[in-house]
Chains A and B, each alone.
Chain A
Amino acid sequence: MTQLGFYVDTSKCTGCKTCQLSCKDDNQLPVGVNWRRVYEYGGGNWEENNDGTFSQDVFTYYASISCNHCARPACTKACPTGAMHKRPEDGLVLVDESVCVGCRYCEMACPYGAPQYSEEKKHMTKCDGCYDRLAQGLGPICVESCPLRALEFGPIEELRAKYGDRANVAPLPDPTLTHPSVVIGTCRHSRPSGDTTGAILNPTEV
């Protein structure tokens, strides 16, 4: 199996949210359901210098996250129906919408907020890696619409060879929990997972 995954370059992302909206448009997502979410992570404060003056150390960066199609997904382990499953051929984590009962247990278990409940459909929905577009030889809509070229998609081993293997960047959780198929390109402000000096600054937006 070739596991597919995303590369997210936080040094390029400006937080424009084109990816979030193109995903929403292409997948006809209702209000409140966002398969891709752009998290604005930031913090900082005034620091007193030796001479009694103050300077600020505020920082912020953006992390565009959808589903990381984890190697050991918390959602599939939790799912009582088997609707949440990993596609054998490419490791994409998908919901079988004809099986899901909408118990929302995957939503509780996933630390990335990927599975989202649809009030319209009465069951769970999530990023499907645009497998319909992949079959046509296209890339996921989020990747292709990114004006900053901050997103890439492909075999995760290739992305790791190219960009390294970091996913332990705030606001993401410790990657050892679910082994996400995602590589985060860091920026000068990047904070490690578990950081408490910053916070997600746009909680109502994601």
Chain B
Amino acid sequence: MNELPLVIFTVLVQGAVGLFLCLGLVSILFPKTGEQAMNKAFVATMVMFGIGATAAIFHLGTPVRAFNVLNGVSHSSPLSLEIVALSLFGASAVAYTGMRLFNLQPALRKVLLPVAMVLGLVLVYAIAQVYTLSTVPTWDSGWTLFQFLMTAGVIGPVGAMTLLRWQSASAGHYQKMADRGLATFGLMMLVVAVTCFVGFVVYLGGLTLHSNPLAMMDYHSTLMLARVALMMVGVICAAVSATRGNHQVTGVAALCFLLVVVAEVMGRIFFYDIHISASAGM
């Protein structure tokens, strides 16, 4: 599938936005969490964002011309706007992380953090706009935005739990509360993601199309069952481990993080597979 770089790009970038939002909330709600631990967690998030953003370049046939993608801002190409949103979030999030790391401008940082968090949500919206095409009925609905938001919503809390557990030695006693808070948030997102997934499937089933989007590939039913299972196992195991007070067990959280990322990659492969245009398969 030629969209594999886009699968990696969208999942990792949306996941990184979710992580940034969760770490931002931890930083706002538990300001006494160990400074060094938070810094490392933010840096790791930016690394994930960087890998995701780099993956997108591999989808270009002629990557040396990559900067041409900004030309389309003049006619509001959704793809150009996505790259603008990517740059704005990237710049603000990296600036915030850098300022934390070198302990610069604490007052400005307090303003920059919520700005970067909002820009993260704008970025997820901008990515969804790229695929909300009137000529592609399977993508042309709010379910596209929903799926992308849920990627951030599920990967974010489990990722943030993992990073803070990894740094639990220097994170201080607030890390336990953050761990439980993130676990609760993750469970809430899981409930929304799985419940509304039913709505998305019913939406797909109700479309009048020349081919059945739910029978595009032989492996789709296995893929989607595995996806929902991995997502549930990942989030629930992380949450159970939090409620059992294992807020310093990095291995469990890391495994759960891996499961939800794989789950989202599977969900995104399905998303690109069901590209069905408004014609009868031209």
Report A's interface with B, CB cutoff 8 A: 37, 39, 41, 65, 74, 76-83, 99-105, 108-113, 117, 121-124, 170-174, 177-178, 193-196, 198-200, 203, 206
Contact = CB atoms under 8 A, between A and B. Distances in A.
Nearest to B68: A81
Q: Is the interface of A mostly helix, strand, loop or mixed?
A: loop
Contacts of B279: 111-113, 171-173, 193
Interface in B196-212: 208-211
Interface of B: 2, 59-63, 65-66, 68-72, 74-75, 77-80, 83, 130-131, 133-136, 208-211, 275, 277-282
Given A100-B62, A196-B210, A105 B278 contact: no
A177 B135 contact: yes
Contacts of A195: 280
Task: Across the A-B interface, give the 4 residue pairs with the lowest CB-CB distance, nearest first.
Answer: A102-B61, A171-B280, A173-B278, A122-B61
B60 A111 contact: no
B16 to A, nearest CB: 21
Given A65-B282, A81-B65, A81-B71, A194 B208 contact: yes
Contacts of A178: 135
A37 B77 CA distance: 28
Contacts of A101: 60-63, 65-66, 68-69
24 contacts: A37-B282, A39-B282, A79-B72, A79-B79, A80-B71, A81-B68, A99-B65, A99-B71, A103-B69, A104-B2, A108-B133, A108-B275, A109-B136, A111-B278, A112-B282, A113-B279, A122-B61, A122-B62, A171-B210, A171-B281, A193-B279, A194-B208, A199-B281, A203-B281
B75 A103 contact: no
A49 B86 CA distance: 62
Contacts of A172: 279-280, 282
Contact of B130 (A79, A105, A123, A199): A105
A111 B136 CA distance: 8
Contact of B77 (A77, A108, A122, A196): A77
Given A100-B62, A104-B59, A177-B135, A200 B281 contact: yes
B270 to A, nearest CB: 16
Contacts of A117: 61
Contacts of A177: 134-135, 278
A182 to B, nearest CB: 12
Which among B60, B131, B279 has the greatest number of chain A C-beta atoms within 10 A? B279
Contact of A111 (B59, B72, B77, B277): B277
A41 B281 CA distance: 10
Contacts of B79: 78-80, 103, 105
A205 B84 CA distance: 39
